[in-house]
């Protein structure tokens, strides 16, 4: 039986790591084999691209260059790790996927959604997650949490307005497309975990 692909999405400080832990605990309770992956990253080549994306440079990194690096890393991960795992019957829990690019580069960088959809079709075709959990949080609150974690990377240093545009695009897509569940990440962690578990149980009862 083919596995399932669950993606965790959200702004910085939304609690993606805790959400991944909640999903994997649910899978363990069901004795379901799984792997965890992250984007950008997840293969040696994709991890090298992750470093390129996140580090500071002494030149302006264009939105298009950033976008292409993201998709280069993504297609490596999907073709070399995610699809083989799903074919084995393993479930895959992803920290970010295609929706991140649509929100960050499409919304935050203001590239729009149409060219991203074309690039997605070129690189990934019709491949989609079975479920996406979008952790919604006020950007100011999320960035405060991110600062408490330690040093910020190049993207995390963007202006608040960048993250406001990114959040708006996340919410816009979530309201228009199926397969995306919005979780209020501003709640107490216990409530967030309960909401995630509830969505999982509704999606895959028993």
Please provide the size of the chain in residues. Answer: 206
- Pairing mode, if any, of strands 91-95 and 131-136? unpaired
Q: How far is CA 162 from the centre of its chain?
A: 17
pLDDT tens figures, 32-87: 999 999 999 999 999 999 999 999 999 999 999 999 999 999 999 999 999 999 99
- 192: CB partners within 8 A, 6+ apart: 15, 18, 19, 22, 135, 183, 184, 185
pLDDT of residue 150: 77
Q: What is the pLDDT of residues 136-186, one digit of tens each?
A: 999 999 999 988 887 889 999 999 999 999 999 999 999 999 999 999 999
Asked if 99 contacts 173 with a C-beta cutoff of 8 angstroms, the reply is yes
Alpha-carbon distance values, 99 to 29, 113, 125, 148 (Å)? 28, 10, 14, 26
Q: How far is CA 196 from the centre of its chain?
A: 15
The dihedral through the CA atoms of 141, 22, 69, 168 has a sign that is negative
Q: From the CB of residue 54, how many other CB atoms can be counted at a distance below 10 Å?
A: 14
CA 5/CA 92 separation, integer angstroms: 5
CATH number at residue 16: 3.40.50.300
What's the token pair of residue 17?
A: 């790591």
Given this model, what pLDDT does residue 129 score? 98
Cβ 41 vs Cβ 79: under 8 Å: no
Domains contained in the chain, number: 1
76-135 confidence digits (pLDDT tens)? 999 999 999 999 999 999 999 999 999 999 999 999 999 899 999 999 999 999 999 999
- In degrees rounded to 5, what are phi and psi of residue 131? -155, 135
Domain of 175? 5-203
């Amino acid at each position: 039986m083919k596995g399932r692909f669950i993606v965790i999405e959200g702004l910085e400080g939304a609690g993606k790591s805790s959400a991944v832990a909640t999903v994997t605990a649910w899978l363990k309770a069901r004795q379901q084999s799984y792997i965890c992956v992250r984007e950008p990253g997840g293969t040696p080549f994709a991890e090298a691209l992750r470093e390129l994306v996140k580090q500071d440079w002494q030149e302006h990194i264009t939105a298009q260059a950033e976008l292409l690096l993201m998709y280069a890393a993504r297609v490596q991960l999907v073709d070399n790790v995610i699809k083989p795992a799903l074919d084995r019957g393993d479930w895959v829990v992803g920290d970010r996927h295609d929706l991140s690019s649509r929100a960050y580069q499409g919304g935050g960088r203001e590239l729009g959604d149409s060219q991203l959809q074309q690039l997605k079709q070129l690189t990934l075709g019709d491949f989609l997650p079975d479920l996406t959990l979008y952790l919604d949080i006020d950007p100011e609150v999320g960035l405060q949490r991110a600062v408490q974690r330690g040093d910020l990377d190049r993207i995390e240093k963007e202006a608040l307005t960048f993250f406001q545009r990114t959040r708006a695009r996340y919410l816009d897509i979530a309201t228009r497309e199926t397969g995306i569940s919005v979780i209020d990440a501003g709640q107490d962690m216990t409530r967030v975990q309960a909401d995630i578990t509830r969505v999982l149980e509704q999606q895959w009862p028993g």
